[in-house]
Amino acid sequence: MAPPGARTRAGIDPRTGDPRLFRQVLGRPDGLAGIAILTVFTGFALAPDLLAGPLQTAVTASGPRLAPPSLAFPLGTDELGRSIANLTIHATRISMVIGLLATLITVFIGAGLGIVSGFVGGRLDALTMRIADFFLVIPTFVLAIILVSIIRDVLGTGSREIFGIRLSLIVIVIVIGITSWSATARIIRAQTLSLRERAFVDRARVIGASGPHIMRRHILPNVTNLIVANAVLTFAGAVLTETTLSFVGLGDPFQPSWGQLLEAARSVGAPGLGAWWYFLPAGICIVLVVFAFTLVGSALDDILNPKRRGRR
């Protein structure tokens, strides 16, 4: 086995190649706990009908209104008589898929810009980073609110779905993507800058490889681990952002996410009425999922950052 840090021809450190990385994460207590929690929620997201039956609507609601948990309704009911358990489990799919899609967009834009900007350098780099800094400074949440409403007003409402998610929520996905890429871009760019100076890149240049080729074949494999680590934390952030956007009223009552459930709870006055069963389940799910992502992210950070592991 090559000693840690050994370079293969393409410059990839075999110690942290992707499959090994996953196993390393599982080997740590925080990584293991995080993955376990996320697996459970992925299960909910993939097969909500199996677990709780089809999503209840105002029409199919059969329970008493705003009733506390009982044998028939283990998590109580909402103001329309729907089972909270049913709603919460179905909301898993919505929240997770939105989070996933938003993360994909964020990471794609962020890593793409980061690699290109870092590699090409010069004016392009300066300009890109100025824009990234701009997005880091302004309160992107308010911007997101405005963007979502404008885009929805322009596109109109409808019941088309992409990836099983209604258009109105896809708008949220896109807006999160275009407002959250800055942090990722900065991180990936920093790594690209340091990789650019390494010998194997010079070698590639000397034999006449083109910029895009180098970026794809040499830089990209070496930032993959960093991208993965960043994507994990981005996912957590995306879930939180979607939740908050839904909470201020931008959710879709036909496809409730956890945030949408919380908004419904608040507008009914659940906390004031003592109806804890309405918002606690969704709330706990959010905390658990974000916490799990943070755990995995922290495990990845420790693995990929040997400096952190004890000194001298």
Partner 1 sequence: MGARYLAGRLATAGVTILLIVLLNFILFRALPGSPERLLLGRIPGVTQQVLESTKARWGLDKPLFPDQFVAYITSTAQGDLGFSYGARGRPVTDVIGQRLGPTLLLFGLGEIVAVIVGLALGAYSGWKRGGVFDYLGNGLSLILYSTPYFLLGMGLLLLFATGLGWFPTFGMVTAGATYAGPLEYLADLGSHLALPLATVSLGLVGQYAIVMRSSVVETLSEDYVTTARAMGLRDGRVLRSHALPNALLPTVTLVAINLGYVVAGAITVEVVFNWPGLGTLTVNALSSRDYPVLQGVFLLLSVGVVFANLVADLVYGLLDPRVRA
Positive or negative CA dihedral for 63, 69, 71, 75?
Answer: positive
- Asked whether position 250 contacts partner 1 by CB under 8 A, the answer is yes
Closest to partner 1 by CB, 140 or 230 = 140
Closest to partner 1 by CB, 95 or 222 = 95
CB of 245: closest distance to partner 1 in angstroms?
9
Tokens representing 309 are 């592991």
Q: Which of 101, 173, 176, 286 binds partner 1 (CB under 8 A)?
A: 286
CB of 276: closest distance to partner 1 in angstroms?
6
Question: Which residues have CB under 8 Å from 294's CB, separation 6+?
Answer: 34, 233, 236
Judged by phi (left if over 0) then psi (alpha if -120 to 50, else beta), residue 237 lies in: alpha
- Asked whether position 46 contacts partner 1 by CB under 8 A, the answer is no
Tokens representing 58 are 């105002």
Q: Which stretch binds partner 1 (CB under 8 A): 6-14, 53-61, 166-174, 248-256?
A: 248-256
Whole-angstrom distance, CA of residue 206 vs CA of residue 75: 66
Closest to partner 1 by CB, 47 or 138 = 138
Place of tokens 């871009």: 185
User: 162: which strand partners?
Assistant: 165
Closest to partner 1 by CB, 41 or 119 = 41
- Asked whether position 123 contacts partner 1 by CB under 8 A, the answer is no
Closest to partner 1 by CB, 17 or 274 = 274
CB of 131: closest distance to partner 1 in angstroms?
9
Closest to partner 1 by CB, 222 or 246 = 246
**Interaction residues for partner 1, span 145-184 (CB under 8 A):** 145-147, 149-150, 153-154
Complete DSSP assignment for 69-83: P-SSSTT-B-TTS-B
Query: How many Cα atoms are found within 13 Å in the side-chain-facing hemisphere of 139?
Result: 4
Query: Taking Cα atoms as reference points, which of 266, 295, 258, 296 lies closest to residue 89?
Result: 258
CB of 294: closest distance to partner 1 in angstroms?
6
Q: Which of 236, 268, 299, 303 binds partner 1 (CB under 8 A)?
A: 236
CA 31 to centroid of chain Cα atoms: 17
Whole-angstrom distance, CA of residue 92 vs CA of residue 42: 8
- Asked whether position 36 contacts partner 1 by CB under 8 A, the answer is no
Judge contact between 77 and 63, C-beta under 8 A.
yes
Closest to partner 1 by CB, 211 or 274 = 274
Binding site for partner 1 (CB under 8 A): 134, 136-143, 145-147, 149-150, 153-154, 236, 240-241, 243-244, 247-250, 262, 265-266, 270-274, 276, 279-280, 283, 286-288, 290-291, 294-295, 311
